[in-house]
Chains A and B, each alone.
Chain A
Amino acid sequence: MSTTAGHAAGGSNYLTAEHGLKSWLLTKDHKRIAVLYLISVSFFFMLGGLFASLVRAELLTPAGDLLSADSYNRAFTMHGVIMVFFFLIPAIPAVLGNFLVPVMIGAKDLAFPRINLLSWYVYNLAGLLGVWVLLQGGVDTGWTFYTPYSSVYSNTAVIPAAMAGFVAGFSSILTALNFVVTIHRMRAPGLTWFRLPLFIWSHYATSLIILLGTPVLAITLLALVLERGFGLGIFDPAMGGDPVLFQHLFWFYSHPAVYIMILPAMGIQSELVAAFARKRVFGYPVVAFASLAIAILGFLVWGHHMFTSSQSVYASTVFSVLTMLVAVPSAVKVFNWTATLHEGSISYETPMLYALGFIGLFTIGGLTGVMLGTMGIDLHVHDTYFVVAHFHYVMVGGTILGYLGGLHYWWPKMFGRMYNQFWSRIAAIVVFIGFNLTFLPQFVVGYLGMPRRYWSYPAEFQIWNVLSTAGATVLGLGLALPLVYLLMSLKNGALAGNNPWGAKGLEWETTSPPPTFNFDTPPVVTEEAYAYADSHLVEAGHSDKKGKKELHGV
């Protein structure tokens, strides 16, 4: 254990401290585990993208001519299962969260380093089960596994797929446990709750959701396995069972799951907006509480997925009202980010491009979510491409843009190298254009009545599908670019230095890459988060009281 580890030139950092495969595969360092996760989730992201390509290729023409109907069902199911369980849920927490949570709070590691490593192995075990499912020809039930099709009638590898989901969920629980304990008990001296970066608040809220919701999915998948394996009948109407019970149990988790996917991205969003507007996040306490509100309220709205499933009108009404409510804290965050930008000193670095894209795309996704939460509208657009477009706006326009923005922001910290910033900006713009071209037409065609999960469609919908597939191609290109220039930066990139963005935050006060135990001397925190000196306000002659207070405080 080197006491001088991490000093800029010549000192060792977490990447160089030890060598050899064993030092990586048996590491307890949360930063190395984050890198291991980066490799794993990237692999699954590409696999999920492959299945998306199959779907979009088939939908170029109205007739089902590329794949058989059966294969098409498998393609969209595998796309959904892989993207949701193997990318969207783990990516930000397991890559960026694992790397940054201890550093941002001034700790040497997470509370349970060995459990952290175990979570990666459990994730890969789930991945192996997933690959096994693929080798068996995949599943065709949709990622929602509705019964009795999944439990009785489907002839695909449902049991291994359910097991893969179960194991992947367990991996996320281990990560969440670590985050909750670490944030509660390992903050640096002086780091009170309301001085924490909002990234931490988001990951805390996310971890609460994971702990409270994932087990219900686990038991549901286990019940599905038992049902299918032993012919039980709990979810089979022909045997006195209730398929809607499956839906209640499934969505009890799977709705909060979407907040597991978006909250970490919102956390990144707060960091990026503050850093590239050189300004404190407007209304910090409100944003912090909004994360908790989303986590809690998010558990009480799942019935909005079941408006057309014979759920009682009374319960549907309650779920609908609560759905309106849960939109409020999300909207509040959008207002706060916008207010942060206002009169900020804005620079258009690559992470900021993603952050700006996030605000617009998440707003569209969120507003269409409110539309879907309205029973009257949902009755018409349920199971159409309107829904597909909505959730891709929040999950890709929101989560993936957040992930990419975060990756581009913290890449120099993680690897000590800066990437090519011309190509990174190009990629961000290409992703934005490609994304909108893919999914905006889907709102239209969905509203016109094109159902989801259909492998052929009426000819009048073709133009929208062609636009969408063209967009998907552009999007794919944009997403491929980072793979190239980020990897190249590892060898050719300029050395980043401790704080290439000039940002506030404990992670920027240590070296890039950080030493194994994060800090040479454990930090003591004396200021608020994002304590940017409002020097530009004073220079411009603004008589802003807040600005003067800020300077005194600093």
Chain B
Amino acid sequence: MSDHSSSTLAHHFDSHEQQREASTVGMWAFLVTEIMFFGGLFLAYVLYRSRYPQTFADASNHLNVIWGGVNTVVLIASSLTMALAVRAAQLANRKTIVLMLILTLVLGCVFLGIKAVEYKEKFDHHLVPGKNFQYDGANGQKAQIFFSLYFAMTGLHAVHMVIGAGLLIWMIVLAHKGVFTAEYHNHIENVGLYWHFVDIVWIFLFPLLYLLGFHVGH
């Protein structure tokens, strides 16, 4: 009936297939909650952008499109390496799994590093909302809403990246130990799903936040 002798099959499941399917469905259900979680901030952004289009465009031009663009490339590349890591897990290719996961982690750290540089720049220019906010253009209050949303959205995204980095480290350790087989690698698949989701959030954040006022010029 079931291979309960295998320690990788939990007692309440009848087969590895059932366990894997349950794991995937669960992860997707969780990602739906993440979609709705970020969704609230996107709604706020869309609303205020349509309300204060000029101010938002001006404020957006204080963001560095090059940094944003590089980060987009970096994150998409990390999605590629993540997909290749999962593929290696499907083929039980231990060395490749570890290599791809490490590459994904490195790229993720590059992303976070660039974000740190961007945030520092904002801090230096008094563009962090709160007591020290100083805006050099018109409608400082409305611009502060832009920056509030910028920091909230990219900040929340960055928190998810940090969590993702932690998950990747955990996966690297497990993969290195040879825990994963062709039959049992739910963890990596799920971390992969999570990582791709975080990439998708950025795919929307980049044009919305950075490219908004691009045509207006700096």
Partners in one complex: yes
A-side contacts of B26, CB under 8 Å = 111-112, 177-178, 180-181
Interface residues of A in 159-179 (CB under 8 A from B): 173, 176-178
Partner of B36, one of A112, A181, A185, A213: A213
Task: Select the stretch in B27-35, B194-202, B210-218 that faces chain A.
Answer: B27-35
B60 CB to nearest chain A CB (Å): 16
B-side contacts of A112, CB under 8 Å = 22, 26
Partner of B12, one of A108, A214, A231, A241: A108
B130 touches A219 (CB 8 A): no
Q: How far is the CA of A184 from the CA of B35 in the complex (A)?
A: 21
B25 touches A185 (CB 8 A): yes
A218 touches B37 (CB 8 A): yes
B129 touches A230 (CB 8 A): yes
> Given A231-B129, A234-B145, A240-B142: A186 and B18 within 8 A (CB)?
yes
B26 closest partner in A (C-beta): A181
> Given A109-B12, A240-B52: A177 and B29 within 8 A (CB)?
yes
- Interface membership of A242, Cβ < 8 A: yes
Interface residues of A in 103-150 (CB under 8 A from B): 107-113
- Interface membership of A239, Cβ < 8 A: yes
Partner of A241, one of B13, B34, B145: B145
> Given A213-B36, A249-B40, A249-B43: A233 and B25 within 8 A (CB)?
no
B-side contacts of A107, CB under 8 Å = 12
A115 CB to nearest chain B CB (Å): 8
B-side contacts of A111, CB under 8 Å = 12, 22, 26
Interface centre among A182, A184, A185, A231 (most CB of B within 10 A): A185
Interface residues of B in 11-54 (CB under 8 A from A): 11-13, 18, 21-22, 25-26, 29-30, 32-41, 43-44, 47-48, 52
SS of A interface (majority): helix
Q: How far is the CA of A36 from the CA of B106 in the complex (A)?
A: 43
B51 CB to nearest chain A CB (Å): 8
> Given A232-B129, A234-B145: A180 and B25 within 8 A (CB)?
yes
Q: How far is the CA of A100 from the CA of B36 in the complex (A)?
A: 29
A33 CB to nearest chain B CB (Å): 14
Write the residues of chain B forming the contact surface with A, with a CB cutoff of 8 angstroms: 10-13, 18, 21-22, 25-26, 29-30, 32-41, 43-44, 47-48, 52, 129-131, 139, 141-142, 144-145, 148-149, 152, 156
Contacts A185-B22, A223-B40, A239-B145 known; 9 new A-B pairs at CB < 8 A:
A186-B22, A211-B29, A231-B130, A232-B130, A232-B148, A234-B148, A239-B144, A242-B47, A249-B44
Write the residues of chain A forming the contact surface with B, with a CB cutoff of 8 angstroms: 1, 102, 107-113, 173, 176-178, 180-182, 184-186, 211-216, 218-220, 222-223, 226, 230-234, 239-242, 245, 248-249, 252, 517
24 sampled A-B residue pairs with Cβ under 8 A: A108-B12, A111-B22, A113-B10, A180-B26, A181-B25, A185-B21, A186-B12, A186-B13, A216-B36, A216-B39, A219-B36, A230-B130, A233-B144, A233-B148, A234-B48, A234-B148, A234-B149, A239-B144, A240-B139, A242-B48, A245-B44, A249-B43, A517-B11, A517-B12
